[in-house]
Amino acid sequence: MSNRPADITRPCTDKAGPHSMWLWFLARTGDPVAKLLEPGFRGDAYALYERMRSRGPVHHSRTGTLAVLSYEHCSQVLQDSRFSTCEPSARPAGKPTSTPQAAVDNPGGSRAKESDQAYAVAAPLLRPALHQSATRIDTTAHDLLRRHADTDSLDLINDFAFPLAVACLSEVLGIPTAYSPRFAEICDVIGKPIHGTPPRSTAEAAHDAHEDLAALVIRLEHERRQSPGGDLISRLTAPRDADKTEADLRSLLEHVHRHGDRQETQDTGLAGRPGITSGKLNLEEVAQVCRTLVVSGLDTAACLIGNAVAALTAHPAQWQTLRSAPQLAGKVVEETLRFDPPHQFTLCTPTTQVQMAGHAVPPGSGILVMLAAAQRDSNRFPDPARFDLTRSSQPDHLAADGAMKLAVSLARLTGEVALWALASRLPQLRPAGRAVRRPGGAVRGFTHLPFRTSTTA
């Protein structure tokens, strides 16, 4: 495939500058921000957040950045148009996580208004796009689990979470059967994180995968304009009806499990949340949405599922609650996004001088918005260090920009299906072997998460 659109917006370019040794030194001498920014970090991030929070809602780091920890101040930064973000979650395969100097050198960040508008349109359309394929995704989840139930072992990330996310995205985008094998290969190459500098063969494979993905989007976008369906690409290229409401995936899944119906449901034609601006996205915007879902959405979904199951197995009473009522899968997803979210922090830079918690912040300065710390703020969440499915209220989860919100939207959908299937089919699931955290502080998840699937030893 070829003919990649030339104007697809790229995320901010990361730079490996001369500051790595200084970062290493600061981390070794106790600077908590430096520890989090180290590429190989696998420590207790939440202990570092509390250590910084004990000194106030913002923390001055010797790295030159200001870490913002309270929910109030993090929300303030994210909603302030004077800040731009450098979002590492949507980076191309092989790119390292951002460093403070990278964002200062490139203060424009990835908050391109045209991209955020496309993401804002796309995010609420994911759920209705999946609605018509919910039973097929549910079947895929059960099939993946069935294969490993016989062997009594399961790597939750590689054997279940990531392939389920790929299947979910394939259905959302309406990938034709003939293209499914190559699409799966594309997702495997550019949807999984690559830590450090990739070998030349890996970089070449990633380049080819990006080219093929762009060419596939061009083909599908052209076909769907001629003959639209219920998939996301069709919905993105068609005017939105502001009077229609989104489909309830949870109710549909409950119906599927209650009746054991494995037949394809009919599309309800529901189109999205009220208030979505009507009008069509252009090809570059559609391509950017699809690229972000592959590059960032799949990884976010796999991390969310892994973090959720790790939290559930660490809190047996909560796992028993989900086993008894699998329809609470959506509550598990929301609590995980608060308690242990995939996206831990993001880097912002002000374009003009601003005041933050009584401190003057000059333009171009690095501000780390500690998303995970904010969502354990006791001023906002009672008993914030407790994983609790019974929380009565769920304030909005913080997200840096449209790309992150879009990735989390896909993760929510995949997470609901995954957790419902796990609770229904593998109620005896239990950890087995050593879980391996992925390196780096910006995105929290696992590279390996081994489980036993029955009560046998």
Task: Give 102's pLDDT tier (boundaries 50, 70, 90).
Answer: very low
Of 146 and 253, more confident = 146
Give the pLDDT confidence of 344-396 residue by residue, as tens digits. 999 999 999 998 888 888 998 889 999 999 999 999 999 999 999 988 876 67
Give the pLDDT confidence of 314-335 residue by residue, as tens digits. 999 999 999 999 999 999 999 9
Please tell me the predicted confidence (pLDDT) of residue 174.
95
Please tell me the predicted confidence (pLDDT) of residue 241.
53
Confidence check: pLDDT of 310 > 60: yes
Please tell me the predicted confidence (pLDDT) of residue 117.
83
Please tell me the predicted confidence (pLDDT) of residue 258.
52
Give the pLDDT confidence of 409-428 residue by residue, as tens digits. 999 999 999 999 999 998 88
Of 103 and 457, more confident = 457
Please tell me the predicted confidence (pLDDT) of residue 8.
33
Lowest mean pLDDT among 168-172, 303-307, 449-453: 449-453
Give the pLDDT confidence of 171-187 residue by residue, as tens digits. 999 999 999 999 999 99
**Alpha carbon of 214 to those of 144, 193, 221, 224, 298: distances in Å?**
29, 19, 10, 15, 17
Give the pLDDT confidence of 3-35 residue by residue, as tens digits. 433 333 333 434 433 468 888 999 999 999 999
- The pLDDT mean for the chain works out to 82
Of 201 and 234, more confident = 234
pTM above 0.95, yes or no: no
Q: Average of pLDDT values for 37-41?
A: 92
Please tell me the predicted confidence (pLDDT) of residue 101.
40
Confidence check: pLDDT of 149 > 50: yes
